[in-house]
Chain A
């Protein structure tokens, strides 16, 4: 027996031993059920971490979980920190938002270009004594953006930590994106709420009742003026009808809950924004506008109109409409409030936020849940001053531009305590408390990509994937034995080693196995025998030409090598490209494919060869049946 064969044989055994060693942690983990894992975590948390870092990870598509990509709203941020905003600024901002959807360019660059196209420079909105040149402003804005994203990352990390998810992954991607990966999530919609909320809490005063009246009156006149022309064309038989279709406020008040207040014989264009009875002033409560739930969308559009915006600024000055968080009166009406734009106090001063059941003293909060807030000293001082100065006025508690509560201030509140009421269940209250404690995001975030797999689908995928792999392995193995006999067994050995090697390499790199990754392994099973098929076919040819067994083996391996190499290199190239351009699961597939190619070349060329050589030299084989 030649020495080189012996060396190779030992080398192969070492590699196999190493692979088994590398796979051991993975097998150990797979053997444990959840309870055992929990016990280990208590007993020796470090051990579990080590075990995990040395195993093949299961992708979110296999163990179930959420993959979310958030984008920090740069547009909103730039809007927030700008000074002296004007029409040009708003237009450029809107235009930029549309443009960046189409291109890969970064928001700031496009924004600057758009401003310059309009003959304005960034300095005008972002300049200060320290920043007078365009370059300085640019770098200031870049810093602001990156700081915002960093803060958003930190806050999201706090929220997720408080929510309690094992081993969350939260990282930045590119300039303004944040990736969050959470395994084993059972309630994705809760997580969506938790991470998507800006959690900007504001306390703002409502505008006075007289201003409500005049604004409501003007808006009503405006709406009627839009409806009137339609009336004349459609209701020609009754020309007198629309003579005074403008609703007086007395009517509005007196008959708010009845739909008879308006001319309802009029046929209306269904698509038109404008119709009767779009809103009422709440007859039971001052300073509250009610909008029927089915007309909500229309009214939302109407109040965005520039005419309405003008009415508000003319009549109420520094004010805006903010919607109530939930429909009231049995879900039939939405509340809309006219509030000051300026916030008296914001959520930054919150030190504690505790979820709890609604007070039993207040009939409206029985069965509901709430979050009680405690403010820090500074917050408490401001709160005390604001409440003291505005007794009998209403103060809106606004979270993410929705009014949760707008109580009338009864007394001066000195202890800095407040609460958000009317939450439907304890979970909602808990999640709200989490986001309020973790703080508001410096700019809104949007979910731009989400991939969630439920745990049962993940289990199902593992089961079906491994089933397919086993069936595939068995069929190919049987086929090879039937077709190549003894050599077939050898090829099968190579195949099994191949799979062990793939898994071992993945464990070593702590790589993630995904569903497409399993598919990659299954595909490798089919393709891995190719190298052996090439070699065996070549050996058959050589044997047929009457060469000796030893020479046939030599020639078979030698001549097949260039084909095996070229064929595998090209597939490997495809793998590299996939890995480079692919995302998530596709990368998993590319990874297993590439590892599989290397492993299959090794097993097919080295391992089977050594076995051939060993048997030929040790057992003086007379005949090679392939």
Chain B
């Protein structure tokens, strides 16, 4: 079976459309980030306490809030988590980070004597740890980019490396932007997802670069021929691009639906990243290489 026979799509002539689409998506993402005052970090980065309780019977958020207000924790963020009998309570940082987790159990059991519950998850992150995590996360993304840039420069050329990094930055901003737009919080696992996206997007980009590199060895290098070669390379690898994206997307979508509430936003980040990564290979990384080459020829 084959989805695509010998395709001959002129991707590069449509690159301007790609630029416009990307510009719009990035603009929306960045505006959302600015309007929200940066990404919405969860307690991993901000510090604070998260308590996830599973009750025997359904509870209403207002009831929980009432119980907490009596003890001065009325400001906490309270949400249902997956089901109506599961609640996640989040508070900000206090001087003693463990204070809330110690108080919450007696508070709630007092307020709901006939609805027993179990502590599913307690996460407490002191403000200093949070800061360390932010620094570590930024360092991780930065180092990943630098090392990958160096590797691609070594294996290919500088314009390929820059094109790959452009695509990476595009995918990371799109993912973070969508998270901001949908007001989903960024936790430590999401950073892992973003770095996986970095890896995946590159994987995709490099396969096509590899084909361009191979085809360039054979052909002449004037400008028109260059565009032709790149187009041909994109078409030759198109089948692979689609199939790998599909199989990866399959498993990630399954993870999204069946992997449970804890992994859901992680899987969601990967879904966005895979779609964006596939797109950015075709419409960001490769066109960048071409634009660079054209400039060099015209100059």
Q: Please indicate whether A and B come from the same complex rather than being unrelated chains.
A: yes
The chain A residues found within 8 Å of chain B, CB to CB, are 61, 69, 71, 100-102, 104, 188-189, 192-193, 196, 446-454, 456-457, 460-461, 464-465, 467-468, 471-472, 475-476, 479-480, 482-485, 515-516, 519, 522-523, 525-527, 529-530, 533-534, 537, 540-541, 559, 562-563, 566-578, 580-583, 585-586, 589-590, 593
Contacts of B200 in A (CB 8 A): 527, 571
B280 CB to closest chain A CB (Å) equals 14
List chain B residues, Cβ under 8 A from A530. Answer: 203, 240, 244, 247-248
B121 touches A566 (CB 8 A): no
Which B residues are CB-close (under 8 A) to A523? 196, 248, 251-252, 255, 270
Find the A residue at minimum CB distance from B104: A189
B129 touches A454 (CB 8 A): no
Q: Which residues of A contact B266 (CB under 8 A)?
A: 516, 519
**Interface contact A585-B98, CB-CB below 8 Å:** no
Across the interface, B210 reaches (CB within 8 A) one of A193, A519, A566, namely: A566
- Cross-chain contact of A460 among B147, B250, B260 (Cβ < 8 A): B260
- Minimum Cβ distance to chain B for residue A100 (Å): 8
A578, B140: Cβ atoms closer than 8 Å: yes
- Look across to chain A and name the residue whose beta carbon is closest to the beta carbon of B124: A450
Are A581 and B250 in contact, with the CB atoms below 8 A? no
Binds A, one of B11-19, B175-183, B187-195, B291-299: B187-195
Contact of A461 with B236 in the complex, beta carbons under 8 Å: no
Q: A71 contacts which chain B residues (CB < 8 A)?
A: 126
- Can you report 25 residue pairs joining A to B where beta carbons are below 8 Å apart? A189-B105, A447-B97, A450-B98, A451-B122, A451-B124, A452-B121, A454-B121, A464-B259, A467-B258, A472-B250, A475-B254, A479-B247, A523-B248, A523-B251, A534-B240, A541-B236, A563-B211, A570-B202, A571-B200, A573-B144, A574-B144, A574-B148, A574-B202, A575-B199, A582-B140
* Known A464-B259, A574-B196: A472·B244 in contact at CB below 8 Å: no
Q: Do the beta carbons of A537 and B202 come within 8 Å of each other? A: no
Residues of B within 8 A of A69 (CB): 129
- Known: A451-B123, A563-B207. Contact between A577 and B143, CB under 8 A? yes
Contacts of B133 in A (CB 8 A): 583
**Identity of the chain B residue whose Cβ is nearest the Cβ of A534 in the assembled complex:** B240
Interface pair B254/A516, CB less than 8 Å apart: no
Point out the residues of chain B lying under 8 angstroms from A533, CB to CB: 240, 243-244, 247
**Min CB–CB distance A576 → chain B (angstroms):** 8
**How far apart are B2's CB and chain A's nearest CB, in angstroms?**
8
Contact among B98, B202, B246, B260 for A447, CB-based, below 8 A: B98
Is B139 at the interface (CB under 8 A from chain A)?
Answer: yes
> Which residue of the partner chain, among B129, B148, B195, B255, contacts A472 with CB atoms under 8 Å?
B255
**In the complex, which of the residues A189, A448, A527, A578 contacts B203, with contact meaning CB atoms closer than 8 Å?**
A527
Are A188 and B122 in contact (CB-based, < 8 A)? yes
Q: How far is the CB of A431 from chain B (nearest CB, A)?
A: 13
List 6 tightest A-B contacts by C-beta distance, closest first: A448-B126, A526-B248, A574-B199, A472-B251, A571-B199, A447-B98
CB-CB under 8 A from B246, the residues of chain A are 479
B126 contacts A519, C-beta separation under 8 Å: no
| Given contacts A515-B263, A570-B152, A449 and B136 within 8 Å (CB-CB) | no
* Additional A-B contacts beyond A102-B131, A464-B263, A570-B199 (19; CB < 8 A): A71-B126, A101-B128, A446-B97, A447-B98, A452-B121, A457-B120, A468-B255, A471-B258, A475-B251, A482-B1, A519-B259, A526-B252, A533-B240, A533-B243, A541-B236, A566-B210, A570-B206, A573-B151, A574-B196
Is B61 among interface residues, defined by CB-CB distance under 8 A?
Answer: no
> Which residue of chain B has the shortest Cβ distance to A71 in the bound complex?
B126
Contact residues on B (Cβ < 8 Å of other chain), bracket: 35 or more
- Per a CB cutoff under 8 Å, which of B118, B137, B262, B270 touches A456? B118
| Interface residues in B31-61 (C-beta closer than 8 Å to A) | 52, 54
Establish whether residues B128 and A567, one from each chain, have CB atoms under 8 Å apart when the complex forms: no
Q: Does the CB pair B240–A476 fall under 8 Å?
A: no
Chain B 243-299 interface residues, beta-carbon cutoff 8 Å to A: 243-244, 246-252, 254-255, 258-260, 262-263, 266-267, 270
Contact of A515 among B127, B258, B262 (CB under 8 A): B262
Closest residue of chain A to B133 (Cβ to Cβ) is A583
Q: Which interface residue of B54, B125, B147, B251 has the most chain A CB atoms within 10 A?
A: B251
Whether B101 is near chain A, meaning CB under 8 Å from some CB there, is: yes
Given known A516-B192, A570-B151, contact A449–B54 (CB-CB < 8 A): no
> How far is it, in angstroms, between the C-alpha of A522 and the C-alpha of B211 when the chains are bound?
28
Q: Is the CB of B120 within 8 A of A562?
A: no
| Residues of chain A within 8 A of B75, CB atoms compared | none
Query: Contacts of A590 on B, CB cut-off 8 Å?
Result: 192
A448:B140 contact, CB within 8 angstroms? no
Q: Does B221 contact A (CB under 8 A)?
A: no
Residues on the B chain within 8 Å of A575, using CB: 199
B189 engages A468 (CB within 8 Å): no
If A468-B255, A593-B196 touch, does A448 touch B137 (CB 8 Å cutoff)?
no
A448 touches B97 (CB 8 A): yes
In angstroms, Cα B278 to Cα A527, docked, is 13
CA distance A484 to B247 in the complex (A): 13
- Residue from the list B129, B202, B254, B267 in contact with A449, Cβ < 8 A: B129
Which A residues touch B202, using CB under 8 A? 567, 570-571, 574
Q: Does B224 contact A (CB under 8 A)?
A: no
Tell me whether B227 is interfacial, beta carbon within 8 Å: no
Partner of A526, one of B136, B151, B247: B247
- In angstroms, Cα B131 to Cα A476, docked, is 40
Q: Which of B101-157 contact A (CB under 8 A)?
A: 101-102, 105, 118-129, 131-133, 136-137, 139-140, 143-144, 147-148, 151-152, 155
Asked if B239 is at the interface (CB within 8 A of a chain A CB), the reply is yes
Min CB gap B92→A, angstroms:
15
CB contact between A519 and one of B97, B123, B155, B263 (< 8 Å): that residue: B263
Q: Is the CB of A452 within 8 A of B240?
A: no
Q: Which of B54, B143, B204, B262 has the most CB of A within 10 A?
A: B262
Question: Which of A482, A567, A574, A582 meets B207, CB within 8 Å?
Answer: A567
CA distance A461 to B260 in the complex (A): 7
Most interface-central of A476, A485, A563 (chain B CB within 10 A): A563
The reply to whether B260 and A192 contact each other, CB–CB distance below 8 Å, is no
B222 contact set on A, CB distance < 8 A: none
B96 at the interface (CB under 8 A from A): yes
In the complex, which residues of chain A have a beta carbon less than 8 angstroms from the beta carbon of B139? 581
Flag whether B77 is at the interface (Cβ < 8 A): no
Chain A residues positioned under 8 Å from B254 (CB to CB): 468, 471-472, 475, 522
CA–CA, A482 and B250, complex, Å: 15
